[in-house]
């Protein structure tokens, strides 16, 4: 984006913030609520959005505790129900309640809040994609991408893997980390790069000049992870950001666990969503991982694998299904079978 366009984006954003700082009616569907936005800054998690319920009294803030369950608590339960746990908080709000196309606002926000963020020094392509509405809101937020970059460099991780390439946002952070040290490899699995993204992720990676340490497998994670494990491959970090349906996330978890070395890192995007929470419960009750709150954000959970211990064939967990706390027993084999049948329906 040229400096002039960036100035325009900032001016538009400032106008938006001025009007929204006083609660205004934004056309919410709920009978008792009027929702609006108050941007809130939080150093670790990036900008969050408080939701103001009519009268301005009930402010709902997403509160990240960094506990073992990675619970994101809400002060007003009804609002959570209203927006539905299954959808990402920020994205659907923009879609449902902003008068303008949300695509106009994502990049403006990034430009506004992250003008001087160090992610901008990693690659000109990274600067570009966070200013371009085409990539919003698919790409990993820049603060989160930068955490992945730091995790990789500070722990000197050599082999990183990611489920879900899309426009290559997170991939560019991993590749920047490998380029900085002049060694390492990043593997991305995604069967829909050409079908859904017109090869744009691969183009951006090529344009960044960081592609030397990149390996792309255009396959579904289930097969891709299984084949890598059969080939005896081992990774130091796996970033799970593919299909967000619960069976798919659980299947990815089982697949990446087979590849991760003890001491390796598992990074879960969108772990505040129902599928992510279910996966975290399954991990807590069946796998030998510990949560690293310092590296997690409101939507990313980073865990470290403690030992080589294989999970039991039957995974037990108490998870929330359709807002009801339920005890479930999941056979590892059945998770993979459920995924297979849901893929057939796709
Ligand atoms: C949210 S996007 C990933 C964003 C990306 N990590 C970034 O930061 O820019 C989710 C991606 O998962 C991919 N995906 C969906 N199902 C998948 C599967 N079964 N295996 C691998 N990737 C999958 C989609 O094609 C999409 O590109």
The tens digit of pLDDT for each residue in 308-333 reads: 887 777 777 766 554 555 555 666 66
Q: Which residue has a Cα nearest atom 23 of ligand 1? A: 242
> Which of 90, 149, 161, 164 most suits a substitution to test ligand 1, by most atoms within 8 Å of the C-beta?
164
Per-residue pLDDT, averaged over 249-268, amounts to 94
Clarify whether residues 105 and 214 are in a common domain.
Answer: no
Per-residue pLDDT, averaged over 36-41, amounts to 36
Clarify whether residues 98 and 213 are in a common domain.
Answer: no
Clarify whether residues 18 and 123 are in a common domain.
Answer: no
How remote is the CA of residue 168 from the centroid of ligand 1, in Å?
Answer: 10
d(CA 271, CA 276): 4
Clarify whether residues 132 and 52 are in a common domain.
Answer: no
The predicted structure's pLDDT at residue 105? 53
d(CA 302, CA 240): 10
How remote is the CA of residue 246 from the centroid of ligand 1, in Å?
Answer: 14
Domain termination residue (choose one: 113, 135, 163): 113
The predicted structure's pLDDT at residue 3? 47
For the cut 90, the answer to whether the pLDDT of residue 342 exceeds it is: no
For the cut 80, the answer to whether the pLDDT of residue 110 exceeds it is: no
**pTM of the model as a whole:** 0.74
Region of residue 260 (phi > 0: left; psi between -120 and 50: alpha; otherwise: beta): beta
d(CA 166, CA 192): 8
Residue listed under structure tokens 């002039």: 4
User: Two tokens at 201?
Assistant: 């992720």
Clarify whether residues 26 and 133 are in a common domain.
Answer: no
220-257 per-position pLDDT tens digit: 999 999 999 999 999 999 999 999 887 788 889 999 99
How remote is the CA of residue 303 from the centroid of ligand 1, in Å?
Answer: 20
Clarify whether residues 68 and 147 are in a common domain.
Answer: no
Clarify whether residues 44 and 169 are in a common domain.
Answer: no
Domain termination residue (choose one: 113, 131, 166): 113
Top-confidence range, 158-162, 304-308, 319-323, 341-345: 158-162
User: CB-based burial of residue 14 (10 Å sphere; 0-12 exposed, 13-18 middle, 19+ buried)?
Assistant: exposed
**Residue 168 Cα: closest atom of ligand 1:** 9
User: Two tokens at 29?
Assistant: 């569907």
The answer to whether 271 and 45 have CB atoms below 8 angstroms apart is: no
Provide the domain count of the chain: 2
Q: Which of 243, 270, 268 is nearest to 166 (CA)?
A: 243
> Which of 125, 132, 148, 166 most suits a substitution to test ligand 1, by most atoms within 8 Å of the C-beta?
166
| Phi, psi (degrees; rounded to nearest 5) at 210 | -100, 5
How remote is the CA of residue 166 from the centroid of ligand 1, in Å?
Answer: 5
Q: Which residue has a Cα nearest atom 1 of ligand 1? A: 138
Domain coverage including residue 143:
118-345
Q: Which residue has a Cα nearest atom 27 of ligand 1? A: 166
How remote is the CA of residue 16 from the centroid of ligand 1, in Å?
Answer: 31
How remote is the CA of residue 164 from the centroid of ligand 1, in Å?
Answer: 3
The answer to whether 59 and 52 have CB atoms below 8 angstroms apart is: yes
| Phi, psi (degrees; rounded to nearest 5) at 339 | -65, -40
For the cut 90, the answer to whether the pLDDT of residue 174 exceeds it is: yes
72 vs 258 pLDDT, higher one: 258
Strand-pair partners of 64 = 72
How remote is the CA of residue 238 from the centroid of ligand 1, in Å?
Answer: 13
Clarify whether residues 47 and 70 are in a common domain.
Answer: yes
15-36 per-position pLDDT tens digit: 444 433 333 223 333 333 333 3
How remote is the CA of residue 4 from the centroid of ligand 1, in Å?
Answer: 33
Clarify whether residues 145 and 226 are in a common domain.
Answer: yes
Cis before residue 10, ω within 30 degrees of 0? no
| Pick from 1-10, 111-120, 125-134, 177-186: least confident | 1-10
How remote is the CA of residue 223 from the centroid of ligand 1, in Å?
Answer: 14
Clarify whether residues 235 and 150 are in a common domain.
Answer: yes
How remote is the CA of residue 224 from the centroid of ligand 1, in Å?
Answer: 13
Q: Over the chain, what is the mean pLDDT? A: 71
Q: Which residue has a Cα nearest atom 14 of ligand 1? A: 242
Ligand 1 binding pocket (C-beta < 6 A) is: 138-140, 163-170, 189-192, 196, 220-221, 241-243, 248
**Residue 167 Cα: closest atom of ligand 1:** 9
**Residue 192 Cα: closest atom of ligand 1:** 25
Clarify whether residues 92 and 201 are in a common domain.
Answer: no
User: CB-based burial of residue 47 (10 Å sphere; 0-12 exposed, 13-18 middle, 19+ buried)?
Assistant: middle
**Which CATH number goes with the domain that contains 125?**
3.40.50.150
Clarify whether residues 209 and 191 are in a common domain.
Answer: yes
Domain termination residue (choose one: 63, 86, 113): 113
Q: Which residue has a Cα nearest atom 11 of ligand 1? A: 164
């Amino acid at each position: 984006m040229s400096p002039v366009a960036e100035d325009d984006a900032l001016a538009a954003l400032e106008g938006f913030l001025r009007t929204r700082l006083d609660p205004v009616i934004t056309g919410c569907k709920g009978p008792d609520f009027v929702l609006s936005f108050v941007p809130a800054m939080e150093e670790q998690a990036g900008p969050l959005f408080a939701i103001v319920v009519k009268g301005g009294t009930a402010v709902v803030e997403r509160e990240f505790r960094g506990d073992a369950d990675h619970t994101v608590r809400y002060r007003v339960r009804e609002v959570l129900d209203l927006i539905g746990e299954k959808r990402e908080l920020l994205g659907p709000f923009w879609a449902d309640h902003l008068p303008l196309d949300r695509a106009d606002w994502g990049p403006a926000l990034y430009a506004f809040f992250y003008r001087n963020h160090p992610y901008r020094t990693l690659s000109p392509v990274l600067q570009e994609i966070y200013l371009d509405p085409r990539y919003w809101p698919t790409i990993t937020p820049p603060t989160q991408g930068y955490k992945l970059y730091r995790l990789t460099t500070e722990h000197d991780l050599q082999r990183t893997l990611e489920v879900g390439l899309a426009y290559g946002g997170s991939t560019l952070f991993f590749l920047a980390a490998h380029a900085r040290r002049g060694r390492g490899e990043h593997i991305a699995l995604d069967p829909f790069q050409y079908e859904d993204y017109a090869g744009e992720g691969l183009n951006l990676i090529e344009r960044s000049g960081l592609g030397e340490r990149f390996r792309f497998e255009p396959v579904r994670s289930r097969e891709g992870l299984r084949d890598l494990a059969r080939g005896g491959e081992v990774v130091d970090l796996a970033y799970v950001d593919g299909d967000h349906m619960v069976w798919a996330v659980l299947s990815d978890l089982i697949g990446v666990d087979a590849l991760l070395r003890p001491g390796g890192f598992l990074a879960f995007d969108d772990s505040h969503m129902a599928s992510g929470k279910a996966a975290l419960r399954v991990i807590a009750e069946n796998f030998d991982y510990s949560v690293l709150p310092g590296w997690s954000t409101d939507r990313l959970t980073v865990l470290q694998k403690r030992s080589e211990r294989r999970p039991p064939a039957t995974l037990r967990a108490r998870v929330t299904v359709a807002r009801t706390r339920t005890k479930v027993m999941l056979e590892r084999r059945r998770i993979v079978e459920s995924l297979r049948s849901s893929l057939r329906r796709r």
